Structure 1
Amino acid sequence: MAALLKDKGTVTFEEKWPTMRPTVLKLLRQECVSRSEWQDLFWAVHKVCLWDEKGPPKVQKALQDDILDFISHAQARVLDQHENQALLKAYITEWRKFFQQCSYLPLPFNQLESALAGKTTTSVSKKVQNDDAIVRKLMLDSWNASIFSNIKQRLQDSAMKLLVIGVRESYVNLSSNSGDKLQIYTENFEKAYIEATKAFYRVKAPQYLEANGVQNYMKYAEMKLREEEQRGEKYLESFSGSLQNLNECCVEVLVTTFRDTILAECPQMIKNNETDKLKLMFKLMSRVPDGIQPMLDAMEEHIVSAGLADMVAAADTITQDSEQYVEKLLDLFQRFSRLVSEAFDEDPHFLTARDKAYKQVVNDTQVFKLELPSKTKGIGNKTQPESKCPELLANYCDMLLRKTPLSKKLTADEIESKLKDVLLVLKYVSNKDVFMRYHKAHLTRRLILDTSADSEKEENMVEWLREVGMPADYVNKLARMFQDIKVSEDLNQQFKETIRTTTKSSVADNLNIKILNAGAWARGSDRVAVSLPMELEDFIPEVEDFYRKKHSGRKLQWHHHMSNGTITFTNNVGRFDLDVTTFQMAVMFAWNQRPHDKISFDNLRLATELPDPELRRAGWSLVAFPKMKRQVLSMSVEVTSPKEFTENTLFWVNQEFAPIKNGKPQKRGKVNLIGRLQLSTEKSKEEDNEGIVQLRILRTQEAIVKILKMRKEDFQRSAADRVGGDAEEHVPPQQEVN
Structure 2
Amino acid sequence: MPISMPPAPNKDDLIATWNFLQAGVEKIMTNLKDGVDMATYMGIYTAVHNFCTSQKAVTSSQGGIIGGSAHRGAHLLGEDLYQNLKAYLKSHLDELYERSKGHVDEALLSYYIREWDRYTTAAKYTNHLFRYLNRHWVRREIDEGKKDIFDVYILHLVQWKDVFFEKVHKSVMDAVLKMVEKQRNGETIEQSQIKSIVDSFVSLGLDETDSTKSTLDVYRWHFEKPFLDATKEYYQNESKQFVAENSVVEYMKKAETRLDEEKARVGLYLHQDIMQGLMKTCLLVLVTDHTALMRDEFQALLDNDRQDDLARMYRLLSRIVDGLEPLRTKFEAHVRKSGLAAVEKVAVEGDSMEPKTYVDALLEVHTQYSKLVENAFAGESEFVRSLDNACKEFVNRNKVCKTGSTRSPELLAKYTDVLLKKGAKSAEEADLEASLIDVMTVFKYIEDKDVFQKFYSRMLAKRLVHSSSASEDAETSMIGKLKEACGFEYTNKLQRMFQDIQISTDLNAQYKDFQAKVLSPEELKAAVDPSYHILGTGFWPLSPPNTNFIPPQEIVSTYTRFQSFYFDKHSGRKLTWLWQLSKGEIKVNYVKNTKIPFTFLVSTYQMAILLLFNDSDTIAYEAIQEATALSAEHLDPSLSVFVKAKVLIPSPETGKPEPGTTYSLNYNFKNKKVKVNLNITVKSEAKQEVEDTHKTIEEDRKLLIQSAIVRIMKSRKRMKHVMLIQETINQIKSRFTPKVPDIKKCIDQLIEKEYLERLEDNDELGYLA
TM-score, scaled to structure 2:
0.76
Give the corresponding residue for 1:689.
697
Aligned counterparts, 1:400-439, within 5 A: 400-404=419-423, 406-407=424-425, 410-439=427-456
Give the corresponding residue for 2:218.
184
SS in 1 for 2:662: strand
Give the corresponding residue for 1:76.
98
C-alpha distance in structure 2 between counterparts of 1:234 and 1:626, whole Å: 88
SS in 1 for 2:348: helix
C-alpha distance in structure 1 between counterparts of 2:707 and 2:91, whole Å: 90
- For the 8 Å contact 1:88–1:158, the answer to whether it is kept is yes
Give the corresponding residue for 1:490.
509
> For the structure 1 residues 182 and 701, does the alpha-carbon distance in structure 2 shift closer, same or farther, using more than 3 Å as the test?
farther
Residue identity matched to 2:458: A
Residue identity matched to 2:17: K
Shift of 1:558: 2.3
Aligned counterparts, 1:551-562, within 5 A: 551-562=570-581
> For the structure 1 residues 312 and 468, does the alpha-carbon distance in structure 2 shift closer, same or farther, using more than 3 Å as the test?
same
Give the corresponding residue for 2:397.
364
Which stretch shifts more, 304-313 or 35-44?
35-44
Residue identity matched to 1:230: A
Residue identity matched to 2:25: V
Give the corresponding residue for 2:202.
172
Please tell me whether residue 251 in structure 1 is matched to residue 283 in structure 2: yes
Residue identity matched to 1:174: L
Please tell me whether residue 302 in structure 1 is matched to residue 334 in structure 2: yes
Q: Which runs of 5+ in 2 are unaligned?
A: 1-9, 56-72, 181-193, 720-769
> For the structure 1 residues 571 and 683, does the alpha-carbon distance in structure 2 shift closer, same or farther, using more than 3 Å as the test?
farther
Give the corresponding residue for 1:723.
none
Residue identity matched to 2:256: E
Shift of 1:506: 4.7
Residue identity matched to 1:652: T
The match for 2:88 among 66, 70, 74 is: 66
- For the 8 Å contact 2:86–2:155, the answer to whether it is kept is yes
Please tell me whether residue 230 in structure 1 is matched to residue 259 in structure 2: no
Shift of 1:319: 4.8
Please tell me whether residue 620 in structure 1 is matched to residue 623 in structure 2: no
Residue identity matched to 1:339: L
> For the structure 1 residues 189 and 706, does the alpha-carbon distance in structure 2 shift closer, same or farther, using more than 3 Å as the test?
farther
CA deviations on 1:424-477 (whole Å, 9 max, x unpaired) are 333333333333333332232233223334444444444454455563414422
Give the corresponding residue for 2:724.
none
> For the structure 1 residues 438 and 247, does the alpha-carbon distance in structure 2 shift closer, same or farther, using more than 3 Å as the test?
same
> For the structure 1 residues 594 and 629, does the alpha-carbon distance in structure 2 shift closer, same or farther, using more than 3 Å as the test?
closer
- For the 8 Å contact 2:620–2:661, the answer to whether it is kept is yes
The match for 2:107 among 55, 64, 86 is: 86
Aligned counterparts, 1:272-351, within 5 A: 272-316=304-348, 319-351=352-384
Please tell me whether residue 565 in structure 1 is matched to residue 587 in structure 2: no
- For the 8 Å contact 1:462–1:479, the answer to whether it is kept is no
C-alpha distance in structure 2 between counterparts of 1:227 and 1:417, whole Å: 44
> For the structure 1 residues 421 and 632, does the alpha-carbon distance in structure 2 shift closer, same or farther, using more than 3 Å as the test?
farther
Give the corresponding residue for 1:731.
none
> For the structure 1 residues 577 and 87, does the alpha-carbon distance in structure 2 shift closer, same or farther, using more than 3 Å as the test?
closer
C-alpha distance in structure 1 between counterparts of 2:347 and 2:52, whole Å: 102
Which stretch shifts more, 286-295 or 45-54?
45-54
Q: Which runs of 5+ in 1 are unaligned?
A: 1-8, 125-130, 370-383, 712-738
Aligned counterparts, 1:138-157, within 5 A: 138-157=155-174
Shift of 1:227: 1.7
CA deviations on 1:266-293 (whole Å, 9 max, x unpaired) are 1111111111211211121111112122
- For the 8 Å contact 1:636–1:649, the answer to whether it is kept is no
RMSD: 4.0
C-alpha distance in structure 1 between counterparts of 2:100 and 2:531, whole Å: 110
Aligned counterparts, 1:481-560, within 5 A: 481-501=500-520, 505-506=524-525, 508-522=527-541, 529-560=548-579
Give the corresponding residue for 1:22.
23
- For the 8 Å contact 1:587–1:618, the answer to whether it is kept is no
C-alpha distance in structure 1 between counterparts of 2:605 and 2:715, whole Å: 51
Give the corresponding residue for 1:736.
none
Please tell me whether residue 214 in structure 1 is matched to residue 251 in structure 2: no
Shift of 1:650: 4.4
C-alpha distance in structure 1 between counterparts of 2:434 and 2:642, whole Å: 32
Shift of 1:14: 3.6
- For the 8 Å contact 1:365–1:388, the answer to whether it is kept is no
The match for 2:388 among 325, 339, 355 is: 355
SS in 2 for 1:80: coil
Please tell me whether residue 672 in structure 1 is matched to residue 678 in structure 2: yes
- For the 8 Å contact 1:499–1:505, the answer to whether it is kept is no
The match for 2:49 among 46, 66, 81 is: 46
Which stretch shifts more, 459-468 or 135-144?
459-468
CA deviations on 1:514-571 (whole Å, 9 max, x unpaired) are 2233333345666765332333344444322211222344433322222123457899
Shift of 1:421: 2.9
Question: Share of identical aligned residues, percent?
Answer: 25
> For the structure 1 residues 494 and 116, does the alpha-carbon distance in structure 2 shift closer, same or farther, using more than 3 Å as the test?
same
Which stretch shifts more, 281-290 or 617-626?
617-626
Residue identity matched to 1:11: D
Shift of 1:670: 3.7
C-alpha distance in structure 2 between counterparts of 1:659 and 1:139, whole Å: 117
CA deviations on 1:334-364 (whole Å, 9 max, x unpaired) are 2223322332343343333333322333333
- For the 8 Å contact 1:622–1:631, the answer to whether it is kept is no
> For the structure 1 residues 262 and 365, does the alpha-carbon distance in structure 2 shift closer, same or farther, using more than 3 Å as the test?
closer
SS in 2 for 1:264: helix
Please tell me whether residue 37 in structure 1 is matched to residue 40 in structure 2: yes
SS in 2 for 1:579: strand
Residue identity matched to 2:499: R
Residue identity matched to 2:442: V
C-alpha distance in structure 2 between counterparts of 1:657 and 1:422, whole Å: 47
- For the 8 Å contact 1:573–1:656, the answer to whether it is kept is no
C-alpha distance in structure 2 between counterparts of 1:132 and 1:497, whole Å: 116
CA deviations on 1:284-342 (whole Å, 9 max, x unpaired) are 11111121222222222221111220111111399543233333333333222332233
C-alpha distance in structure 2 between counterparts of 1:685 and 1:17, whole Å: 111
Residue identity matched to 1:673: N
Shift of 1:253: 0.2
SS in 2 for 1:291: coil
CA deviations on 1:464-508 (whole Å, 9 max, x unpaired) are 544555634144224324423422432342343244229854553
Residue identity matched to 2:109: L
> For the structure 1 residues 47 and 367, does the alpha-carbon distance in structure 2 shift closer, same or farther, using more than 3 Å as the test?
same
C-alpha distance in structure 2 between counterparts of 1:94 and 1:503, whole Å: 121
- For the 8 Å contact 2:625–2:635, the answer to whether it is kept is no
- For the 8 Å contact 2:347–2:399, the answer to whether it is kept is no
> For the structure 1 residues 536 and 226, does the alpha-carbon distance in structure 2 shift closer, same or farther, using more than 3 Å as the test?
same
Residue identity matched to 1:417: A
